[in-house]
Amino acid sequence: MAIQIDWKNLGFAYMQTECYLKCEFVNGSWGEIEVCQDPHVSLHIAATCLHYGQAAFEGLKAFGRKDKSIAMFRPRENARRLIRSAQRLVMEPPPEELFLSMASKLIQLNRDYVPPYETGASMYIRPCLIGTAPHIGVHPSENFMLIMLASPMGPYYKKGFFPVKGYIQEEYDRAAPRGVGFTKAGGNYAAGMMGDMDGNKKGFPICLYLDAASHQYIDEFGSSNFLAITRDNKYVTPASQSILQSITNTSLQLIAADFGLTVEKRPVRVTELADFAEVGACGTAVVITPVSSILHGSRVYSFGKEDEAGAMLTRLYQEIKGIQYGDIPDRHNWMYPADAA
Ligand code: PLP
Ligand code: COI
Q: Evaluate if residue 188 carries a pLDDT over 70.
A: yes
- The pLDDT assigned to 233 comes to 95
Q: Reduce the DSSP state of residue 105 to 3 states and report it.
A: helix
CB 36 within 8 A of CB 43: no
Atom of ligand 1 nearest to the CA of 181: 3
Ligand 2 centroid–CA 28 distance in Å is 30
- The pLDDT assigned to 3 comes to 83
Instruction: State the DSSP string of 34-99.
Output: EEE-SS-----TTBHHHHH--EEE--EEEEE-TTS-EEEESHHHHHHHHHHHHHHTT-PPPPHHHH
Res. 321 pLDDT band, cuts 50 70 90: very high
CB 166 within 8 A of CB 295: yes
Residue 9 and residue 151: Cα distance in Å, rounded? 14
Strands (E), 132-224: 144-153, 164-168, 206-210, 218-221
Q: Tell me whether strands 206-210 and 164-168 are parallel, antiparallel or unpaired.
A: parallel
Q: Active site includes 184?
A: yes
Portions of the chain given CATH number 3.30.470.10: 9-153
Q: Which CATH number describes the domain made up of 9-153?
A: 3.30.470.10
Q: Reduce the DSSP state of residue 222 to 3 states and report it.
A: coil
- The pLDDT assigned to 155 comes to 78
Q: Which of 22, 105, 165, 184 is catalytic?
A: 184
Mean pLDDT across the chain: 96
Pocket of ligand 1 contains residue 59 by CB under 6 Å: yes
pLDDT in tens, 198-235: 999 999 999 999 999 999 999 999 999 999 999 999 99
Share of the chain above pLDDT 90, in %: 92
Residue 257 — φ and ψ, nearest 5°?
A: -65, -40
- The pLDDT assigned to 158 comes to 75
Ligand 1 centroid–CA 3 distance in Å is 31
Atom of ligand 1 nearest to the CA of 60: 16
Query: Of the CATH numbers 3.40.50.970, 3.40.630.10, 3.20.10.10, 3.30.465.10, which one belongs to the domain with range 164-325?
Result: 3.20.10.10
- The pLDDT assigned to 8 comes to 86
Ligand 1 centroid–CA 249 distance in Å is 9
Pocket of ligand 1 contains residue 283 by CB under 6 Å: yes
Res. 341 pLDDT band, cuts 50 70 90: low
